[in-house]
Structure formats: C-alpha cells, structure tokens
Amino acid sequence: MSGRSDKLNLDGLSNTEALNIIAMLVDQASDTDNVSLIDHMVELADQLETRELQDDQLALLDYFRANAWACRYQRRYCDRERLWDFDQPEIQQQIFHLRRAAHGPGFEALDQLRKCQILTNLGNQFDAVGRFVEARASWNAALEVDPQFWMAMANRGQGLMYYASRLYDPGHEGVFALHAHRDLASAVDLISTHPHLGDPGLRDLFAQTAEQIGQYYDLGAIGHSYRLDGWSLGDCAAEQAYRRWCLNHTLFLNPLNDVAQASIASSDILTLPNFTLPTGEPPIVTGMFNELKQMLASARWMLWEGTHAVDAHYSDQGVLLYDTLDYSSFGLSIEKVKMAFRLSYSIFDKIAYFLNFYLELGIPAQQVSFRTIWFEKKGGALRETVVKSENWPLRGLYWLSKDLYEEGVKGTTEPEALALAELRNHMEHRYVKVHERLMPVCSEHDRYHDPLAYYISRSDLEQKTLRLMQLVRSALIYLSLTMHHEERRRAEDKEELVVPMPLVVLPDDFKR
C-alpha cells in the first residue's frame, strides 16, 4: 500500500488484505460522515473487482459496496420529507449489491454472522421502499441461518407492524400485531445474552415499541382466539399435499401466509378492499382482480403438477420425437412448468392495466406495461400521480417493477432480471431446451450446441418459476393494499352519501 492516507491504493496487497482495507474505509467513512472517503472506497472496490476474486470475496465486496451506498443514503436523506421520494438511487444500489451477495455462489462460504448481516440489511432496504413481503422473507432467511440473530428478529417485528397498518382486515391486523410483539419481546431478551449480534443501544427502542403494541392491542384476547391449525386442507391426500406445498412456499394470496405456514392461511382470501363507485357504474376492478387471482391459482397448480410428476403422462405416448444428442428432455410435466412461468410473467402487465384504469393515468392500452407505467414517457420522469401519492404499497409495486428488465428502461435491482427476460422471450418467441441437468454438451463450442435455443436445467427452470410466482403474489398483495390506501384518501375528499352494495361470492361449483 502506498500514497497518502486519504488516497490509498491496493498495489502489492493480497485480495484478503485489500478487502480488509475497503472494510476499514467503509467503517471510517460511516463514523466520520466523510463522503470523499466513501467515493475513494468505491474506486478501490472497482479496482479490486478487476482481479480474479474467489466467489466468497466477491460476495464480501458486494456487501461492503452496499454499506458505502448506505452511508450516502444516510447523508442525503437526513431530511425526513425526502424519505417519500419514490426514486432513491442509494437504496437501489444497496438492494442490487446485497442481492448479488446473498444469491451468488460465494454466499454459502461466508461466516454465519456475515450471512445474517447481508440478509438483514436486504430486508431493511426492501421494507424501506414498500416491499414488505420480500422484507419479511429476507429477515426469515437470516433467522434460519442463526435463530438468535436478534437484529433480524426486531426488524421483522417492526416491519410486521408497518405491514399490519396497511391491511384492511382488522382480524389480520391483530394477528400481525401479536407476531410483531413476540418478535420484539424476544429480541429484547436476546440482546442481554448476545449483544455482539447488533447494536445493543437499540434495546430501549425495541422495548418501547413492544410496550406500545401491548397497550394498543388486546394481545391476550387475540392469542386466545387465534387458532393456527385445525382448518381443512382438503378431502384427499393429493389436495392436502398440494396445499402444504403452497403454504411452505408462501404462495397463498393470504397475508396470514406471511406469518404462518399453518392451515389457517391455506386459502386465497385476499381480495379488494371496500371501494366506492358512481351510481350505475359496474365494479370493473373486481372482475379484473378475479382474473388476476385465478391466473395465479392456475399457474400455481401447473407448477405443482409439473414438479411432482413421477411417470410419463399418457398424452405423451406416441408423440414422435427425435434425440438431438444434447440430452434435452420433453414431456407434459416440463410444459406445465413452462406454462406456469409464462402465465405468471404475463400477470405483471395486467396489473399495470388495472392501475392505468383505477388511477386514471390515461395511458393508451397498447402502451401499458408494468415496467413503464410509472413514467410520463419511457425513460422519463415519474408521473405526478405516483410521486405525490405517499402510498407505501404503491411504492412497493414500483420497486418490484425494478425486478423486471425492459429495453430502454434503466434501474433494475435484480441481478437476474435480464436472464429472466431472455428466458421469457425464448418461451414466447423462440424455444427453450430443458435438461434434467446441464451437461457439458450445452457449451457453445460443442458440435451439438443449438444456437437458437435457450438452455436451462429442469431444477433451475423450476426454481425460477417458483420465485417468479412468489413475486406475482407479492405484487397482488401490494395492488390490493394500494387500492385500500387510495380508497381511504378518496373518502377523505368526498362528502357524498355512500350506499353499500355487497357482492355475492361465486360458488366453487361454478368454476368449471
């Protein structure tokens, strides 16, 4: 290392030594609020990335980069009024780098504490931009690594209360409050025995929040009436197995599935909140939401069947196919997974179609897309309707749209966004070759390589489809709660007489 102390360089340092220097600079910059030091650290990180780093070193580098962007964020948003800015590039960078660290090949080689820090920070940033469903999943993942990591537990408890405040069902709100109080109380207890797992100075804040929840909600009564199990999972073993699978992968359109994988959450009860319409206007949004729910439910079932098939289906018998010598696989079960992927991906643009109508954005139908609906024009400024909404679930939808790639639109927060878009494009317009496992023959240098095909292993296709489906579920939850927030705002602006008109539930027997 040479040069002045404020202009360090990495010459002559090993990768490990260089990472230690970068970590030190981030900590020093955070303690001293030194922006130039942060900028210098980012320069060094760019320099280090050009080396041949091991996977775990790349994950650490992404973690340190995210911390540098966190320092920039704290400096820029000390004015609380700016917290409602929809576009926050510092958080965008944090989410991108933390995701790349958490989902990259080097994550498993990191020590337990570092894994928990990455996942907890990722959850915190998701929560800050309104993606409270994904935030809880990140905090859960941290607690799976270390059940005593109380920073994730406390943040999960606080996040649950923000989530609860957006729900339209008071029964669900109470259940969320119960779980939030348990998290915060448990975290306070763990701070005394494991102070090194976070900032113990936060103990009083967590204890005060738990006390406030206990004062506002009758937690004893909620706990007494809250029955997790004993609800029907179906009449046959196959249906019960399917519903357990949905619960375990958090796929039910039911907020309770975010706090429990128990039978109480085994139905798709999420719907639209109460809303008002001018006299004589039909409930168009209800019809749109019906289709969105049905699409997800059907895609979910196709994924289940596609991933649990044991034998070849009789519809595949006698279908004459040729061996192309590249170990590709065929069959109804694979096509079901593909259909589940395509159906799930198509829901996003339909959500944009819903928002265009409900928020009266006035975008021509042929120009509506989930990735661009937020802007006055493609790549332009955010719409004023969006910017001034102070609608937290709507902001969650906007930030969720950053998980998708669309040419000409900048600012993705998902490192795999382009790969997902390419997979969808091949499914819709070209073709995809699925393998039971990826073989060396798939290399572009192999004589049997097919340049027109998108190669993917069966397990990778199944995992991508499952993750996409979970993303769709989150989007539909945000959509419903976006409308709940907007309806409350509209009610404050109106003084007209409102006449209730209950809608009749469609019987299951009619779903043919």
pLDDT at residue number 441: 52
* Lookup: tokens for 453: 């095909």
**pLDDT per residue as tens digits for the range 127-156:** 999 999 999 999 999 999 999 999 999 999
Q: Are 69 and 31 in contact (CB under 8 A)?
A: no
**Nearest Cα to 151, choosing from 126, 188, 125?**
188
Using pLDDT thresholds of 50, 70 and 90, give the confidence band for residue 448: low
Q: How far apart are CA 351 and CA 421, in angstroms?
A: 18
What is the distance, to the nearest Å, from the Cα of residue 118 to the centroid of all Cα atoms in its chain? 15
The structural domains of the chain, with segments of one domain joined by +, span 15-225, 297-501
Q: Which residue carries 């429990």 as its tokens?
A: 260
Q: Where are the beta strands (DSSP E) in 337-483?
A: 431-435, 453-457
Using pLDDT thresholds of 50, 70 and 90, give the confidence band for residue 26: confident
pLDDT at residue number 33: 75
Tally Cβ neighbours within 10 Å of residue 155.
Answer: 26
**Nearest Cα to 406, choosing from 375, 383, 364?**
375
pLDDT over threshold 90, residue 2: no
Q: Are 108 and 80 in contact (CB under 8 A)?
A: no
Q: Are 404 and 420 in contact (CB under 8 A)?
A: yes
Q: Are 343 and 299 in contact (CB under 8 A)?
A: yes
CA angle 421, 424, 427 (to 5 degrees): 150
* Lookup: tokens for 454: 């998108």
pLDDT over threshold 70, residue 445: no
CATH code of the domain made up of 15-225:
1.25.40.10
Using pLDDT thresholds of 50, 70 and 90, give the confidence band for residue 201: very high
Q: Which residue carries 């928990």 as its tokens?
A: 116
**Amino acid found at 347:** I
**Nearest Cα to 98, choosing from 127, 71, 132, 60?**
60
Maximum mean pLDDT: which of 41-50, 190-199, 401-410, 498-507: 190-199
pLDDT at residue number 4: 39
Q: How far apart are CA 79 and CA 494, in angstroms?
A: 32
* Lookup: tokens for 446: 């192999």
Q: Are 292 and 350 in contact (CB under 8 A)?
A: yes
pLDDT over threshold 60, residue 454: yes
Within 8 A by CB and 6+ apart from 97, the residues are 62, 63, 65, 66, 69
Q: How far apart are CA 389 and CA 402, in angstroms?
A: 19
pLDDT at residue number 417: 87
Q: What is the 3-state secondary structure (H, E, C) of 271-286?
A: CCCCCCCCCCCCCHHH
pLDDT at residue number 278: 74
C-alpha to C-alpha distances, 14 to 20, 42, 109, 114, 127, nearest whole angstrom: 10, 18, 19, 21, 37
C-alpha to C-alpha distances, 239 to 235, 242, 304, 394, nearest whole angstrom: 7, 5, 11, 34
Burial grade of 340 (CB within 10 A; 0-12, 13-18, 19 or more): buried
Q: Are 346 and 428 in contact (CB under 8 A)?
A: no
Q: How far apart are CA 465 and CA 463, in angstroms?
A: 5
Burial grade of 238 (CB within 10 A; 0-12, 13-18, 19 or more): exposed
pLDDT at residue number 58: 94
Q: Where are the beta strands (DSSP E) in 34-81?
A: none
Using pLDDT thresholds of 50, 70 and 90, give the confidence band for residue 6: low
One DSSP character per residue, 309-375 reads --S--GGGTT------SS-EE-SHHHHHHHHHHHHHHHHHHHHHHHHHHHTT----GGG--TTTTTB
Q: How far apart are CA 443 and CA 457, in angstroms?
A: 13
pLDDT at residue number 405: 85
What is the distance, to the nearest Å, from the Cα of residue 503 to the centroid of all Cα atoms in its chain? 32
Q: What's this model's pTM, rounded to 2 decimal places?
A: 0.92
CA angle 10, 12, 17 (to 5 degrees): 60
Residue 413 or 485, more confident: 485
For helices 417-429 and 332-358, angle between their N-to-C axes, nearest 10 degrees: 110
